[in-house]
Amino acid sequence: MIALLAEVPYWGQSLLRVLGGLVAVLLPAGTIVYVFLFKMMSFMQSRLGPMEAGPYGSMQLFAEVGKWLQKEDIVPDRADARIFKMAPIIVLVSTFLLVVVVPFGPEAWFTDFETGVFYALAVSSVSVLGILIAGWSSANKYSLLGGLRAAGQLIAYELPMVLAVMGVVIQAGTMNLQKIVVAQNTGSMFGIDAIGHPYVISQFFGFIIFMIAIQAELTQAPFDMPIAESELVSGYMTEYSGFRFLIFFIGEFATAGVFAMIASVLFLGGWGVPFTWFGWTSIDDVANWMNFAGPLIMFTKMMLLVFIIMWIRFSYPRLREDQLQRFAWKVLIPVALLNIMVTSILKVVF
C-alpha cells in the first residue's frame, strides 16, 4: 500500500488520506446510527424503528441528514455568533484528528506515531473545548449548565481513561498503536500463542475502566448528564439547529466509533489476527491482503464494542451529577492507579 502510495504525488497522497479519513469516520458513524440507534434500540423496546425510507429503513439516515440540511441555521440574538458557529466544528475536528493515529492494517495507517497513545488521548480532549464554548456562547442558561457539566464530566473521566491505557502501555512497552497491535498478536500467554495475547485478558480491569470511561467521554447514558433532556432541555446543544446540530450529532457517533476503534486496538488486537495462524513472526511477514482484511476485522471489533456501549446506553437510566463525579474520583481513579501498580510490578517480575 505504501509502495502504491509512493508513486502518487504529494497532493494526491494528501487527498487520499483526507478521503480515507472521511470514510474511516463517517462510515462507522452512519453504520452505528442505523444499526444501533435506529434498529437495536427499537428492537430492545419491542418496536421496529424506521421502516419506510428504503428497505428496512436503511435510507432513513439520508432522509434525516437532508432534513437537517434544509433547516434554518439559527443563531440566538445575544449569542457570540462567531464562536457559536465554530463550536460544533471543533468537536468534529477532534474526532478526525483522533482517527489519524488508528492503524487499520500492517501498512494501512494515516500516520505512524511513536507516541500515538499520547497523541490520541491529548486530541480527544479537544472536543471538551468545543463543548464548553458551545455552552458558553449560546447565551442560554441550559446550554451553559450543560457545557459546564460536560466539561466537568469529560475531565473527570479522562483521568481513569488515561490511567487505564497506562496499563496497556506498560505491558506493550510502547506508545505506538501499531506496535501495540503487533505486540498483542505476536504475544503468547503462558506459552500458548493460539490467540496471541489480547490485552483484554491480562488487562481486564483496565479494559473495564476504559469502557466505562469512554461511555462517559461519549456522554452516553447512564452518563449523559450534559444533555439531560429532563433537566437541561438538550444541554450545550439546546440552541443549535440545522446542520450545526447535525455536526454535533455526527460528532457524537463518529467519536463513539473512533473510541471503539482505539479500544479495539488497545485491548482486542486491532486489525490483526494472531500471527501464528499464518506463520508470521513479525510485522514484516504479514501478507499484503491484511491491508484489506485488516480494516474489516477492525470494523467487526469496533461494532462489537459499540454494541456494548449502546447496549448499556439503552438499558440504564441516567445517574445524578454528584454520583457521576463520585464514581469517577472515588472508584475509577483509585482502581485504575491500583491497576497500574499491579501491572508494573508484574511486568518487572516476569
Please report, as ranges, the residues that interact with other proteins according to CB under 8 A.
40, 42-48, 51, 311-312, 314-316
Nearer to other proteins, 51 or 93 (CB): 51
Instruction: Give me the helices (H) in the chain, please.
Output: 2-6, 10-32, 41-44, 60-69, 81-99, 116-124, 126-137, 141-172, 177-186, 199-202, 204-217, 229-232, 242-267, 290-315, 321-326, 333-349
Question: Is 42 or 234 the residue whose CB approaches other proteins more closely?
Answer: 42
Report the alpha-carbon angle 217-219-225, nearest 5.
Answer: 125
By three-state DSSP, how is residue 161 classified? helix
Nearer to other proteins, 150 or 332 (CB): 332
Taking the complex as a whole, the smallest distance from the CB of residue 227 to other proteins amounts, in Å, to 21
49 DSSP assignment: -
Least separation in angstroms between CB 149 and other proteins: 23
Give the residue with the Cβ less far from other proteins, 8 or 44.
Answer: 44
Q: Which is nearer to other proteins, 43 or 277 (CB)?
A: 43
CB of 103 to other proteins, least distance (A): 31
Of the pair 288, 323, the CB lying nearest other proteins is at: 323
Q: Which is nearer to other proteins, 211 or 265 (CB)?
A: 211
Phi and psi torsions of 129, nearest 5° = -60, -45
In the complex, the smallest distance separating the C-beta of residue 211 from other proteins, rounded to whole angstroms, is: 13
d(CA 137, CA 216): 23
10 Å Cβ neighbour count for 315? 10
Q: Which CB sits closer to other proteins, 57 or 196?
A: 57
Q: Left (φ > 0), alpha (ψ -120 to 50) or beta: where does 219 sit?
A: left
Cβ proximity to other proteins: between 195 and 312 the closer is 312
Min dist CB 42 to other proteins, Å, is: 8
Helix (H, G, I), strand (E, B) or coil at 279: coil
Compute the least distance from the CB of residue 153 to other proteins, in Å.
20
Q: Are 256 and 32 in contact (CB under 8 A)?
A: yes
| Burial grade of 137 (CB within 10 A; 0-12, 13-18, 19 or more) | buried
Minimum CB separation of residue 47 from other proteins in Å reads 4
Q: How far is the CB of 50 from other proteins (least distance, A)?
A: 11
Angle formed by the axes of helices 116-124 and 81-99, nearest 10° = 160
Taking the C-alpha atoms of residue 253 and residue 133, their distance in angstroms, rounded to an integer, is 20
Q: How far is the CB of 173 from other proteins (least distance, A)?
A: 35
Amino acid in position 126:
V
> What is the Cα–Cα distance from 68 to 60, expressed in whole angstroms?
12
Using CA atoms, how far residue 3 sits from 13, 229, 288, 291, 305, in Å, is 12, 51, 11, 12, 33
